[in-house]
Structure 1
Amino acid sequence: MRRRLVSTYVLLLALVLLALEVPLAVSLTNRETQQVLADRLADATRFAALAAPALRTGDLAALTGELRRYHDLYGIGTLLVDQDQQILSTIGGPSPGDSAATGALRGALAGRQVSTPATLWPWRDDPLVVAVPVSDGGAVLGGLVTASPVSRSRHTIVVSWAELGLGGLLAVAACVVAALRLATWVLRPVTRLDAAVHEIAAGADDARVVPGAGPPELRRLSASFNEMADAVAEAMERQRSFVAYASHQLRNPLTVVRLRVEDLADRLAGPGAEQDHGYALEEIDRLTGVLDSLLALARAERGRQPIGETDVAAVARDRHAAWQPAARRRGVELALAVDDPAYAQAVGLDQVLDALIDNALKFTPAGGRVTVTVHGSVLTVADTGPGMTAEQCALATERFWRAPDTQNVDGAGLGLPIVAVLVEASGGRLELVPGPGLEVRITL
């Protein structure tokens, strides 16, 4: 954005400079042309006044000497003709066949003062031709033409244009510096706001915009953003605290209820009573698992678990051994392949593996295989279950989401969301690879 603002300022200044300097350059060129033309017309008029009596008497010696000295001193050539266009004198002047001199001479014999070109542009080398009539008592006796080199005038014009261009460049440079400072001052709150938004999106809930920079409107925007971020952070913290508190408080009554239901086993009678008793205990266990998952998710989101260097291989071995009995009960082979040692920065890695192995065992049929692999900082849990599609993989980390064909499988849809939060808190990356079976890959 700053580049666009500076470009806009410079473009506007360039347009203003062009609108001012182009007419000024033309005006300077015309002024130089008029000055040179006035000098040449004055000289030509003076020589025409000297030529009039010389043409009447036929004595041109004095006039020719004067014209020769004029040429030697200024390098300006002259051509003198009579009324019949017979050449009487030519000293370094234009040739009689020169088109510019011929046209100017024709106008002089008609009684007019003629000059060409009208403007001394720097890119033209044509000499300045001035023709005046030689008259006496109103009668035109002949014409006098002067041809002046314009190199000095061209140099003067080029220098004037260069000064204008240099002034314009200095103005543009000053504009760029001023525009950069102005754009930086104006956009500093926007830059800080952008950085704070990215930090909050990355999980830094305490990121705020430093106030006190930029225009008043943007300062107010920064203050309003900080107030909004504080309100949102407070609401999120209240929500997480409520979930954690509710989950914790509900576990105690559930524990009591389970104990009471277990005590009822000896007093139940009648057909199906024992089966109903088992169903009640299973539902209590399921609700307890949901509350435990909510509590783990709330703790993970609040970032209260320390991050540190963890031996991924050791954690994988420990959780592999802990889940072996459950795997045997389900008739699933739980395999392990690790690099030793394998260290990485991680948070709650044991919870991550518990959630992934639990999910894999749930969805892997008897006779299948679940493989936990640790290679460097990459942890993989793969199973031979039905797997998920790419669309389902994109939704699997949303809370309470369940695949349509797994609604009858135990679970609350919180396992992968907990894994995603813990992996993100570790600064890692979680990937779900669809295909035959499901592969969950974590890069720490």
Structure 2
Amino acid sequence: MNGTLLIVGGTIIHSTGEDPKPILQQAQDDSGQGKTNILIQNGKISLTSSDGIADETMDASGLLIFPGFIDAHVHFREPGLTHKATMASEAAAARAGGVTTVCEMPNTNPPTFTVDAFADKVERAKKITDCDIRFFMGAITHDHLSELRKLWTDPSPEMKRLKKRCCGLKLFLENSTGDLKIEPEVVEEAFRLCAEIHCPITAHCEDARLNEAANAEITDEGVASHSLRRPPESEATSIEYVITLARRYGTMLHIAHLSTGLGLELVRLAKTEGLPITCEVTPHHLFLNTDDYGRLGTYLKMNPPIRSTEDNAALWQGIKDGTIDMVATDHAPHLKEEKEVSPPLSAPSGVPGVETMLPLLLTEAQQGNITYSDIVRLCFMNPNEHYRLGKEDIVDGASLDLVLVDPKEEWEIHGEELHSACGWTPFEGRKVVGKVIRVLSF
């Protein structure tokens, strides 16, 4: 950004707690009381109560101002799967949804198992300006763990540069897109190594043996049987296993896309022990459930699968009591023609979500179910701290992205109007309140 910009009249949202109604009333208050102007100059912000003089003045009256949001779980499909999406297309979707930093998963083609594959992704991301893309390493063999050790501990300038772009190690305890299930004998070594080198592990938790047993018993070939073929007990058993390893070695562990009340309770108990464990939940596991298979069909197929209304309620309680640390989308675009196949269970698993996460959460805040500060905690502060992303909050002297939101604008979500290359959304036609007006980067 060249020159200076003065933003006047907006309401800055931090991660400290507040009731959503006073914030919304404040955003609607034309008197300007309780508001702080933001002067942007030389790439940094200055908080001021005066109007000042700037090259450009932006009236943000009635708007909420957030730091750029973080989606800690995305699949941008590049390299190797660019017929589905690219870094450029999905970064545009992220920015349109107020997300300016993402953590991208290793199940591309080739998978991100080696330093060379990791470096290739970092190089590709240099041309992306819509958001900051960080990357996970993956592993299924001992050789892959050796590559992680090199990336994480080699003192050379090149390795230090690459490590700054690395979120940690992603482990798949069961197959999903890309079939990256880690070899069982490698799992414990991964936990031991990551504890040694202080590298966080993010785990996709499903138990392959329980899934195989469930599949053997089920004869129904409908898409709704996907939730039965990967049952809640599968997730809970896998979570219990990785918590045991985290306890044994002291490894920083993050549970990806938590989908069940059973799994949530295990995480809650582990936290009471003081174990270094965090977890995330996706919007689709919060807002959708097995009743939606009839409406969405194969578009609702994902891993872990969609769950019951009781699981929805348990996950919302986990957000309210602080057990759940993050909301992340598991944004996983597939083309419509890939989803609309027969037999239905052959459809690929995954749904897009990076652009719709914020409006869904803003609607919950507008309705008083969560606070706007909860959104900052779940989608900025906690992922920033856990993955050591180095993002700054809205404070004097900070250099960061700003997201300006109209908390009162009502609109409907339609896939054809979104920016992801896949062109669809499981939230088609959903009415939401709160829309991104402008995203500023400097």
Which structure has the highest helix share of the two? 1
Higher RCO structure, 1 or 2 (CA under 8 Å, sep 6+): 2
- Highest CA radius of gyration, 1 or 2? 1
TM over 0.5: no
TM-score using structure 2 length: 0.21
